[in-house]
Amino acid sequence: MGTDYTFWVFPPLKRVFLRGEQMHKVGVFLDCEYGQVAFYDVTNRSLIYNFSSLTFCGAVRPIFSLCIPSG
């Protein structure tokens, strides 16, 4: 898929651009006690994006999509 990546994160909805080596594995770190969810490039151990100051109520269900359909 190349080495240029666009991620959509929310809340609030915003676009995050990354440029670098091709990404093969994404790790997710969830810390309910401190209200954090962090996404990492596992291969080079770099942070992709971090959500902080979150409040969790009930089950946490991640949603991943490889693309956003147009139209």
In-domain check, residue 39: yes
Q: Which amino acid type is present at position 15?
A: R
29 domain-assigned = yes
Q: What is the pLDDT of residues 48-62, one digit of tens each?
A: 889 888 888 888 877
Residue 65 resides in a domain:
no
**Whole-angstrom distance, CA of residue 58 vs CA of residue 29:** 18
Domain containing residue 17: 5-51
Is 12 a member of any domain?
yes
Residue 15 falls inside a structural domain: yes
- Number of structural domains (the chain) is 1
For residues 7 and 40, the answer to whether their CB atoms sit within 8 Å is no
Give the span between the Cα atoms of 61 and 21, in whole angstroms: 29
Would residue 44 count as lying in a domain?
yes
Q: How far apart are CA 71 and CA 63, in angstroms?
A: 20
**pLDDT at residue 66 tops 80:** no
| Reported pTM | 0.69
